[in-house]
């Protein structure tokens, strides 16, 4: 990610994400696997493989959002009736495999995926689980933004390509329910105009959750005098959104058609849950050491005050980013 001072952090959250993720968004969209997906070039087996991975990604994301539904930064955009994708993904996988919905997770294709899950898939689901278990789950908003708004935008183009590629009936919707959203105010399917309204509602909710949260607002008073530290909580969400695009791009790379053999990983389902800390290893040691030095010049008090106002985690994410960029910590 580019340096924080390249962006105007006075922008609303939704505007900041649109500007700050443009490069990562473009890279994911134009990856070889992404192009094959949007062009309808995947054979049905490859596409089902993709949907299975996506189901697990959404399962982790939506479990996290549900667990923190009342969290101030997430509450304004929490609407599983409108947004949840795991049910429709399950229906599509079942239909495309030709098995009852209750049985697709025991299908050999899924069993093979989970027996030897590819590294990008494990990294994606693990990252979502880390955020869900964090004391401050705000950065889940970045992943929800990338996935849901993408499904309502480019996903609608993919829907038409997939329907044509696999001879699916767009009126019935079997096999392509993942791309179907309901209207904001009814159970009818949303058209492009309705989807635009949903996206506007979502962006407004993001802005309200981040911009009007009294806890985050309180931290700005502290940070205004030390803006050069780049500890603004907005930076943490922006950084995470860029990470989300990169994680999606790595999933697309599995669809490149080059027959890549991925490094076997422990099953994403049975793998031990990761530690809750987002800062670990050498970075944590370096950060602690530098924080001790900072204490001698009075900066530690400022950082502590900001962290106490923001539940700590997103501020520390901003601090982590500052240290990486200014001090070149690996």
Q: How far is CA 258 from CA 9, 59, 137, in A?
A: 41, 28, 37
Highest CATH level, class, for 11-214+227-276: mainly alpha
Question: Which backbone phi and psi does 189 adopt, to 5 degrees?
Answer: -65, 140
pTM score of the predicted model: 0.75
Express each pLDDT in 200-237 by its tens digit: 999 999 999 987 443 343 333 333 433 444 445 678 89
pLDDT of residue 321: 41
d(CA 285, CA 287): 5
Express each pLDDT in 230-240 by its tens digit: 445 678 899 99
Cα–Cα nearest to 140, from 74, 196, 205, 49: 74
pLDDT of residue 234: 77
Domain ranges for the chain: 11-214+227-276
């Amino acid at each position: 990610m580019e340096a924080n001072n390249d962006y105007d952090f006075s922008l609303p959250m939704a505007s900041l994400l649109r500007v700050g993720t443009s490069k990562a968004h473009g890279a994911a969209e134009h990856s070889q696997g992404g192009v094959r997906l949007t062009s309808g070039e995947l054979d049905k087996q490859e596409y089902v493989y993709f949907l299975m991975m996506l189901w697990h990604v959404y399962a982790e994301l939506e479990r996290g959002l549900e667990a923190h539904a009342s969290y101030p930064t997430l509450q304004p955009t929490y609407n599983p009736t409108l947004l949840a994708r795991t049910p429709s993904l399950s229906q599509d996988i079942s239909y495309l495999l030709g098995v009852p919905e209750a049985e697709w997770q025991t299908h050999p294709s899924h069993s093979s995926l989970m027996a030897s899950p590819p590294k990008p898939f494990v990294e994606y689901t693990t990252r979502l689980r880390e955020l869900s278990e964090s004391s401050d789950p705000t950065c889940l908003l970045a992943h929800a933004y990338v996935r849901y708004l993408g499904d309502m935008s480019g996903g609608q183009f993919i829907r038409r390509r997939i329907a044509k590629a696999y001879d699916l009936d767009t009126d019935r919707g079997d096999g392509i329910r993942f791309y179907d959203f309901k209207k904001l105010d009814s159970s009818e399917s949303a058209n492009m105009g309705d989807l635009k309204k949903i996206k506007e509602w979502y962006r407004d909710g993001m802005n309200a959750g981040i911009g009007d949260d009294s806890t985050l607002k309180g931290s700005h008073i502290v940070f205004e005098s030390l803006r050069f530290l780049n500890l603004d909580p907005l930076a943490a969400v922006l950084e995470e959104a860029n990470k989300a695009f990169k994680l999606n791009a790595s999933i697309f790379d599995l669809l490149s058609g080059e027959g890549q053999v991925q490094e076997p990983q422990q099953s994403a389902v049975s793998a031990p849950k990761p530690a809750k800390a987002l800062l670990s290893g050498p970075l944590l040691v370096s950060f602690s050491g530098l924080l001790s030095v900072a204490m001698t010049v009075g900066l530690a008090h400022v950082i502590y005050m900001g962290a106490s106002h923001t539940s700590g985690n997103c501020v520390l994410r901003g601090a982590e980013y500052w240290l990486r960029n200014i001090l070149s910590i690996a």
